[in-house]
Structure 1
Amino acid sequence: MRILVANPNTTEAVTARLMAAAAAVKAPATELVPMTAPRGVPYIATRADAVIGSAVALEMLAERHRDVDAAIIAAFGDPGLGGARELFDIPVVGMAEAAMLTACMLGRTFAIVTFSGGLVPWYNECLDWNGLRGRCAGIFALQGAFASIADVQEEKEEALVALANRVVAEAGADVVILAGAPLSGLAQSVRDRVPVPLVDGIQAAVKQVEALVALRPAKATEGTFRRPAAKTCTGIPEALRARFERRDG
């Protein structure tokens, strides 16, 4: 199967981290197809960033959805996920959604640990969108600046491990999610330094989407995720416009 890994951030180095972490867990027959946002922000951290990222994610899927069996929106917070499920026939999985659902299979409660306090409001809203507030022991973030989004994983590794351990001790989390695309791969490298399971968003998404493709779910024709009726659009990329106007099948 072919899986599109659509990074709605513009930082190519983050896509490289995503692909390395995803490749470590994919099935042998799975081909990962990377795509980095051609426009937008270097990394999505706020609600405003997420609005831009959502639109770009839909554009990316419109361009490539016929070439793949499924897609991952590869930004924690899942910008555009609901809209993607409406518009496209293939399974689409979000990193945050996959991480949280996987964490629920490993323990009763999970905590989300991330590298920047600016991400917390957006992650809180993502938590509510997935209906998992009751399973979450909290969202915890490092404070202060970092030098580079491409290297934040190495720069903040020790602090993130310390925060994860504190969350386990003080909040009683059964599982910790290391959240944010720039942290992809960190969970595996520090797994022996935290006393509960660690979940990596892109790795969870790869395994969840492989399962969905194998299950061959039908596209909804009723309910809230059925494909919307045709609507004329202006000023958006042709592939996405064709999808909205139902000119692409």
Structure 2
Amino acid sequence: MRLLLVNPNMTEAMTRDMAAIARRIAGTAAEIVPLTAPRGFPYIASRAEAQIGGGIALEMIADNLEGADAVIIAAFGDPGLRGARELFDLPVVGMAEAAMMSASMLGERFSIVTFSPVMRRWYLDCVADSGLSARCTGVRTPPGHPLDVSGLRETLRDDLADLARRAALEDGADVVILGGAPLAGLAGEIAEEVPALVIDPIAAAVSQAMALARIAARRSFGARACKPVAKPSVGLGPALGRIVAQVGA
């Protein structure tokens, strides 16, 4: 099995951290192909940036589609997720949606803890889009936006662990999701300090991508009713342009 790990952020270190987690989860059952955005933003932190990053993610997938069994959008907030599902005939999993769906199977209510208040409304939009607002206790963040997202697992570790504990004890969350690519790997480090289950979104996404690749018949994707109308385009990457010109035809 071959999984594309598509990071719409430009920061290679984030991709490396997420790929390491993905390989640990997949073991020998899947090959992980990590991809980092060639342009855009070092880190996507708003709805506007997610729109831009989503388009870049679609081009990245199109350029590397051959031989892939499933795709993982490796940015919390899932830039480009729904568009990718329209265009590409294979399972496409977003790490935010995967984490929320997994959390809903592991407990009755979940909370999201992330590192910046700037992302709170965007992440709540993601919860609403997933249809899980009634299961979510909210998004907890530190009071300020960090100037540098590198090293957040170390610099904000104790603050994030405290926010996760408060989400469990004060908000009643059974499951806490650590949202944001810079936090990849932190869930395992703080799990014993939090009186709730703590989820790493990339671990959830890889697990779900592998499951979907096994249970969904690949030949059925082309027959889905949501396919857009084929049309010509200008300025897209060659691979994505060809797919847009043929999809649904």
State the TM-score bracket (shorter-chain normalisation): over 0.9
Q: Distance in 2 between matches of 1:157 and 1:191?
A: 12
The alignment status of 1:82 with 2:82, answered yes or no, reads yes
Q: Distance in 1 between matches of 2:146 and 2:133?
A: 29
Paired residues in the alignment total 247
Q: Following the alignment from structure 2 to structure 1, what is the Cα–Cα distance between the partners of residues 189 and 69?
A: 30
Q: Does the alignment pair 1:203 with 2:203?
A: yes
Look up the match of 1:219. 221
* Cα displacement (A) at 1:239: 0.7
AA at the equivalent of 2:128: D
In 1, Cα distance between equivalents of 2:173 and 2:160: 15
Please report how far the alpha carbon of residue 145 of structure 1 lies from its aligned counterpart in structure 2 after TM superposition.
Answer: 3.7
Q: Amino acid of the residue matched to residue 210 of structure 1?
A: M
Deviation at 1:221, TM superposition (A): 2.0
**Distance (whole Å) between structure 2 residues aligned to residue 33 and residue 22 of structure 1:** 10
Q: Within 5 Å, give how 1:4-15 maps onto structure 2.
A: 4-15=4-15
Any residues of structure 2 matched to 1:76-225 within 5 Å, and which? 76-217=76-217, 218-219=220-221, 221-224=223-226
**Residue pair 2:187, 2:200 contacting (<8 A) in 1 also:** yes
Query: 2:127–2:133: 8 Å Cα contact kept in structure 1?
Result: yes
- Secondary structure of the equivalent of 2:106? coil
Is 1:32 matched up with 2:35? no
Instruction: Report Cα offsets for 1:184-220 as digits up to 9, x if no partner.
Output: 1110121111111001100000000000111133205
TM-score normalised by length of structure 2:
0.95
Measure, in 2, the Cα distance between the counterparts of 1:115 and 1:109: 21
Q: Which amino acid aligns with 1:238?
A: P
2:186 and 2:200 in contact (8 A); partners too: yes
Quote the Cα distance in structure 1 between the aligned partners of 2:243 and 2:28: 32
Equivalent position of 1:66 in the other structure? 66
Which moved further from structure 2: 27-36 or 104-113? Answer: 27-36
3-state secondary structure, aligned to 1:112: strand
Counterpart-to-counterpart distance in 2, 1:69 and 1:146: 37
Q: Give yes or no for contact 2:169–2:195 (8 Å, CA) kept in 1.
A: no
Shift of 1:153: 1.5
Structure 1 residue identity aligned to 2:225: G
Residue identity in the other structure for 2:47: R
Question: 228-237 or 196-205: which moved more?
Answer: 228-237
**Separation in 2, partners of 1:11, 1:184:** 13
Deviation for aligned residue 1:147: 4.8
Structure 2 residue matching 1:67: 3-state secondary structure = coil
- SS of the residue corresponding to residue 235 of structure 2 reads coil
Aligned counterparts, 1:50-65, within 5 A: 50-65=50-65
Matched to 1:21, the amino acid is I
Gaps of 5+ in 2: none
CA RMSD, 1 decimal = 1.5
Q: 1:20 to 1:222 in 2, by over 3 A?
A: closer
Residues 8 and 56 in structure 1, CA contact (< 8 A), matched pair in contact too: yes
Is the 8 Å Cα contact of residues 37 and 56 (structure 2) preserved in structure 1? Answer: yes
* 8 Å Cα contact 1:176/1:196 also seen in 2: yes
Secondary structure of the corresponding residue to residue 99 of structure 1: helix
